[in-house]
Amino acid sequence: MRVLWVYAHPEPRSLNAALRHEGLRTLTGLGHEIRQSDLYAMRFDPVVDRDDFGAGDGRLIVGDESRRAYEGGRLSDDIVAEQEKLLWSDTVVLQFPLWWFGMPAILKGWFDRVFVKGFGYGVTHPDGRTKRYGDGVLSGRRALVVVTAGSPATALGPRGINGDLEELLFPLLHGTLWYAGMAPLAPLLVPGADRPTNYHQTAAKLRDRLIRLPDEEPLPYRHQDSDDYDENLVLCDDLATGESGLSVHCGDRRSAVRDFSPNRG
């Protein structure tokens, strides 16, 4: 594999840093190639603005301007560098602490800035149809999200008070990775991260997921290019009939690798 490891934590002596070290060591030991984006260490700028696009002072329409800059080779160097790493990779690992039930801003802004129109979205087939949800510039790549959380696993389970982890991460897993063509795997949750009690067990789980990364079944999100959605991009009546909510976009509702037993926290 050619793995791009994207990492967003401010402290080099953290649990996250230890797990990253373990992960990189595991992948290297297996003979895989690695490149990294350590966003805090890079002081990555997460704020989209006109400087990204070499734009003048006309009215900034982000999508249009980003596409022109992408196609015209005028994107900021730091954006181009990240796009090159993504195109080099066949596998992406995204590792971050869950802050307010989402990505830290520095990582959210990595997507905002790097996944410009023409690269992350707005890519069309020759007949004009838009490629998305399972198809796009980044298709063929797998993505694994590794996330630490202060909360116990049960509180992030299917009926836990914080909300189901896979659904909390739906804007990333489905709305960004899958949208852009990548195949996300079930996220790896490291719960109870404020009071880590068994680091070796956690590291073993991470190693196990990384070893199985090339073979694991991705989340079974539906393809836009199927007959599952109608002309308004609404799920057809005969699928998940009478149901609504994010889970209807999974052909098979529950992935096998999750473990929300109470004693895991």
Q: Which residues bind a copy of itself (CB under 8 A)?
A: 10-11, 13-14, 40, 46-50, 59-63, 97, 99-106, 108-109, 111-112, 115, 133, 150, 152, 154-155, 157-164, 167-168, 170-172, 174-176, 179, 194, 222, 224, 229, 232-235, 240, 243-249, 262
Least Cβ distance, residue 235 to a copy of itself (angstroms)? 4
Cβ(173)–Cβ(187) below 8 Å: yes
Burial environment of residue 122 by CB neighbours within 10 A (0 to 12, 13 to 18, 19 or more): middle
**Using CA atoms, how far apart are residues 134 and 80, in angstroms rounded to an integer?**
23
- Beta-strand relationship, 130-131 and 123-124: antiparallel
77-88 vs 105-114: helix axis angle to the nearest 10? 90
Q: How far is the CB of 211 from a copy of itself (least distance, A)?
A: 29
User: Angle at Cα 185 formed by Cα 112 and Cα 177, nearest 5°?
Assistant: 20
Task: Give the torsion through C-alpha atoms of 108, 168, 5, 20, to 10 deg.
Answer: 120
Rank residues 197 and 244 by Cβ distance to a copy of itself and give the closer one. 244
Please report how close the Cβ of residue 104 comes to a copy of itself at its closest, in angstroms.
6
Task: Kindly tell me which of 150 and 214 has the beta carbon lying closer to a copy of itself.
Answer: 150
Instruction: Give the nearer residue to a copy of itself in terms of CB position, either 15 or 30.
Output: 15
Identify which of residues 30 and 105 has a Cβ nearer to a copy of itself in the complex.
Answer: 105
C-beta of residue 89 within 8 angstroms of C-beta of residue 2: yes
Shortest reach from residue 210's CB to a copy of itself, in Å:
26
Min. distance of Cβ 77 from a copy of itself in angstroms? 19
- Shortest gap between Cβ of 185 and a copy of itself (angstroms)? 19
Report the residue number, 126 or 245, with the smaller CB distance to a copy of itself: 245
**Distance between CA atoms of residues 166 and 138, nearest Å:** 21
Q: How many CB atoms lie within 10 A of CB 59?
A: 7
Question: Is the dihedral angle over the CA atoms 127, 131, 91, 7 positive or is it negative?
Answer: positive
- Torsions phi, psi of 155, nearest 5? -70, -10
CB of 180: closest distance to a copy of itself in angstroms? 9
Of 27 and 183, nearer to a copy of itself (C-beta) is 183
Taking the least distance from each CB to a copy of itself, the nearer of 31 and 244 is: 244
